[in-house]
Structure 1
């Protein structure tokens, strides 16, 4: 099967902290990061992360301890990523919009001992703190008094970030190798709560190398995104990719569709990395004379369509490359190099560090062109995930017969190009976030009037999914749209709030009493379906973390 590259380096840096130290030695005064303030040089990021690393050690954090980050995009988030890596602790990025059981599960299961928070994050942590036996320290980013007020009643040891980094001391050296864990990144579950995907230093630092080989970035590039740092797109595909080749990285605090391209031009971005829904939002803005006034050479965007490629290029003169397939566990597994003609509907060819096959339900390889489950395994050490944190059963199930089973369906053509077909797993994707149907249904059942819940995706006008929740009420119960929406706002991350709700007497079920979701999907949006958006029941941007 044809691959994009065949050669491998004899040696490579496999530890994130060493990557930064080496880059700082070469490019000390060169701009590296622009996030929520001024440009920061490689030397400044190295120095500031050293200060925080030493402070974490003084608070008792040791190799293997978990440190959670629940912050919006900001300079301090960047420093924390490298500080945690330098001392061999394990970063746990927490989606800033999590609340309730979604938040408790990830914090408790990871066993995070320390969390970095702002005021809004502190309020959410306070609501579940009594169910987090391992959490002992909170480091407050902004108004420490306000954070102490938010966490009043908890037994957490609270420290100011500013005080933590005031010391100029260097951290104690920690011996690390490529197999040591760098990050636990939670990804949507399929048959239960979200699972903690274990990412080693080797895997973390290998992803930028594969993207570089494919021409998705190079040393002269300035990479830009407006996705959150708690995702791999911003943290690895932009931040670490720029680091890997001495480039620059722009991490916007917030995405604004109306100004994103103009701002990218003003800041000198040459590569933009955005999500499919963002492309649609940008194209929905009114055309401007400045649309082609930029220096952007490439947009990488997943997922998107050939029609969108054409519209985007005609309007902005920016080619899109969306031919890549991967997931947190194996990222990327296939890819098309920059400058190569794209295959409509294709997801690229197999990357050089993995094997990929298409299997049937019995784990037998299907014939070329037939649809089956996509499975992947590594050809090199430390280039895929290391299993699921604290979940050996899920790890064994995913890795059965020595292949990682992705839970996705696809097919390979005669040329070895992968075509994605469908998700096998019962999960959703909305606003760039993966959502576990099971986890969402369990959260809905916390409402006293809901006896049963089943959720599924419906097509969204901006791409990805909108969510429909079908619910069966407890005997004699009644509920209004307004009451249910208020419950959603308090119990769910904003992106997981269903747009549509239908109250039903019962669900269609199989002979073994399982809900037949395919029938609910076929049912679609009915005359009795509530559309919260049409009712004006929406969550404003300033309400998302409250």
Structure 2
């Protein structure tokens, strides 16, 4: 199918497998027919509350059925779903609620206070629906009415014909805004189906397959899992959050065969003690995907847990997901690559600063454009100028540096994080990968500090592992033997944590702005010299 909509996919599933379990939230299951009915009722209720086609409905919800019902109900009502990061508060939350022009916000009771605190600054907001008990002292301070979500579940069961077209908006997903105000990526109905199709392309489903993820439904990865299950008419098990102690019991209970995980989850599970559930689940998980997922950890998951397909080969942004990937049965990609270019959907190019193509193997900005309709974002919500900044000369510019070799895409660095020191171009990404191999380094951010008129100097800001003692001089001495001479940092600073956005991305621009602090160690001042000849 060339184009599709989420609502058509739901209609097909209800016709084919109405009683099949669609969603599983910690053992509370919902069939396709039940989700269809709940979302239809809520769509009628949204119409009754004055929500019309093209308007937005925002959520500040944990992983639960109401998050999915709101998404589908809003789309059935012709509205656009705007899921927000539950960590947002203050200006982060105010900006996205104001920018999205949400008329209705649906929030957990635990986040109600954060919404109420900014409600007076939201001219479009008319109503807050609270999931759970709302504290009277909180609602009393709110600038708009707060009512129970349960009172607005709706009771109108009359069918709503699917009128959505593939190019109609399904949702807004906000970028993290590491260099400026976050922007709402407009994602069409077909875009959402496209990322689900790519997930099924990566790991073609078998009878009895089902999906599992603890990742949040306000994130593309969580939406991807739900959509892949919908398109394959199978089950998605969504944990409220990751729990190491219950991971294998949930995998066993749910019968999951395909897991979408990320980051610290991989080593935590890999290094956890044996359990009866883990042993009984050997070989049950057929596929595990996520990033970062280095080869040594993939081997552990294969050998210890019987996982056939463990992959971190993937590249994309909210604006265009899975520009590169790796599929079951294909030759193993180069280890440091992002996988092969998804050239059935996208044309990917490496461009210089004048938007000319860079020869194969050369470094430049990763850019892309679609080969099919509605497989990328439709632009930034209410920001045509920002859309044109990234979409120029008929290419979407990612802001990432990379290279292409034999059809494989290699990520080099964020363009703004690339720096030049000692006459050499330096990838902060490669520097960070190198230092993460040091046993004392838990996290590291490599970035520039301005020290001369012609060049920057390299600084690393490091979070040291708990209960490990290391000095800046020891780390620098290690670097002399383990990285190129020009990548040995002049400056090192230890911190308890790195500055982050609410979506947990490191804010390197803040580190660059802070520059040399009172706790920054200087290699030159310590009398350590690094020679080209070593």
Give TM class, smaller chain: 0.7 to 0.9
Q: Secondary structure at the match of 1:109?
A: helix
Q: Secondary structure at the match of 1:337?
A: coil
CA deviations on 1:414-433 (whole Å, 9 max, x unpaired) are: x211111112246999xxxx
Moved over 6 A (4+): 459-462
Deviation of the 1:92 alpha carbon: 0.7
Q: 1:424 aligns with which of 410, 415, 419?
A: 415
Matched, 1:409 2:401: yes
Deviation of the 1:120 alpha carbon: 1.6
Q: Report the Cα distance in structure 2 between the residues aligned to 1:264 and 1:517, rounded to whole angstroms.
A: 43
Larger CA deviation: 150-159 vs 272-281: 150-159
Q: Which residue of 2 aligns with 1:337?
A: 327
CA deviations on 1:128-156 (whole Å, 9 max, x unpaired) are: 1111111111112111x43x542323342
Q: 2:256 aligns with which of 269, 280, 288?
A: 269
Q: Which residue of 2 aligns with 1:92?
A: 82
Q: Secondary structure at the match of 1:409?
A: strand
CA deviations on 1:171-193 (whole Å, 9 max, x unpaired) are: 65463211111111001225311
Q: 1:28 to 1:132 in 2, by over 3 A?
A: same
Q: Which residue of 1 aligns with 2:57?
A: 67
Deviation of the 1:20 alpha carbon: 1.1
Q: 1:323 aligns with which of 297, 310, 313?
A: 313
- TM-score, structure 1 normalization: 0.76
Q: Report the Cα distance in structure 2 between the residues aligned to 1:118 and 1:124, rounded to whole angstroms.
A: 10
Q: Report the Cα distance in structure 2 between the residues aligned to 1:519 and 1:134, rounded to whole angstroms.
A: 37
Q: Which residue of 2 aligns with 1:307?
A: 296
Q: Report the Cα distance in structure 1 between the residues aligned to 2:27 and 2:47, rounded to whole angstroms.
A: 27
Q: Which residue of 2 aligns with 1:544?
A: none
Q: Which residue of 2 aligns with 1:203?
A: 191
Instruction: Tell which has more relative contact order, 1 or 2 (C-alpha 8 A, sep 6+).
Output: 1
Q: How does 1:360-375 map to 2 (within 5 A)?
A: 360-375=352-367
CA deviations on 1:467-506 (whole Å, 9 max, x unpaired) are: xxxxxxxxxxxxxxxxxx9xx9xx98494799x9xxxxxx
Q: Secondary structure at the match of 1:275?
A: coil
Q: How does 1:251-270 map to 2 (within 5 A)?
A: 251-270=238-257
Q: Report the Cα distance in structure 1 between the residues aligned to 2:329 and 2:229, rounded to whole angstroms.
A: 20
| Uncovered stretches (5+) of structure 2, i.e. residues with no partner | 419-427, 430-444, 446-458, 467-495, 523-534
Q: Report the Cα distance in structure 1 between the residues aligned to 2:279 and 2:292, rounded to whole angstroms.
A: 23
Q: 1:24 aligns with which of 14, 28, 37?
A: 14
Matched, 1:239 2:234: no
Q: Report the Cα distance in structure 2 between the residues aligned to 1:426 and 1:151, rounded to whole angstroms.
A: 44
Q: How does 1:94-493 map to 2 (within 5 A)?
A: 94-143=84-133, 145-146=134-135, 149-170=137-158, 173=161, 175-215=163-203, 217-218=205-206, 220-235=208-223, 237-288=224-275, 290-294=277-281, 295-318=284-307, 319-343=309-333, 344-351=335-342, 352-413=344-405, 415-425=406-416, 458=462, 493=502
Q: Report the Cα distance in structure 2 between the residues aligned to 1:60 and 1:234, rounded to whole angstroms.
A: 29
Q: Secondary structure at the match of 1:375?
A: strand
| Uncovered stretches (5+) of structure 1, i.e. residues with no partner | 1-8, 430-436, 438-454, 463-484, 501-513, 529-546
Deviation of the 1:310 alpha carbon: 1.5
Larger CA deviation: 199-208 vs 308-317: 308-317
The count of aligned residue pairs is 450
Report if aligned partners of 1:53, 1:171 keep a CA contact under 8 Å in 2: no
Q: 1:461 to 1:107 in 2, by over 3 A?
A: farther
Q: Report the Cα distance in structure 1 between the residues aligned to 2:103 and 2:159, rounded to whole angstroms.
A: 19
Report if aligned partners of 1:214, 1:335 keep a CA contact under 8 Å in 2: yes
Q: Secondary structure at the match of 2:411?
A: strand
Q: Report the Cα distance in structure 2 between the residues aligned to 1:515 and 1:186, rounded to whole angstroms.
A: 20
Q: Report the Cα distance in structure 1 between the residues aligned to 2:71 and 2:514, rounded to whole angstroms.
A: 45
Larger radius of gyration: 2
- TM-score, structure 2 normalization: 0.77
Q: Report the Cα distance in structure 2 between the residues aligned to 1:335 and 1:492, rounded to whole angstroms.
A: 27
Q: Which residue of 2 aligns with 1:445?
A: none
Q: Report the Cα distance in structure 1 between the residues aligned to 2:503 and 2:172, rounded to whole angstroms.
A: 23
Report if aligned partners of 1:187, 1:194 keep a CA contact under 8 Å in 2: yes
Q: Report the Cα distance in structure 2 between the residues aligned to 1:456 and 1:55, rounded to whole angstroms.
A: 53
Q: 2:512 aligns with which of 510, 517, 522?
A: 517
Deviation of the 1:278 alpha carbon: 1.5
Q: 1:165 to 1:422 in 2, by over 3 A?
A: same
Q: 1:398 to 1:458 in 2, by over 3 A?
A: farther
Deviation of the 1:456 alpha carbon: 8.7
Larger CA deviation: 361-370 vs 102-111: 361-370
Report if aligned partners of 1:180, 1:201 keep a CA contact under 8 Å in 2: yes
Q: Secondary structure at the match of 2:349?
A: strand
Q: Secondary structure at the match of 2:150?
A: helix
Deviation of the 1:37 alpha carbon: 4.8
Q: Report the Cα distance in structure 1 between the residues aligned to 2:332 and 2:233, rounded to whole angstroms.
A: 28
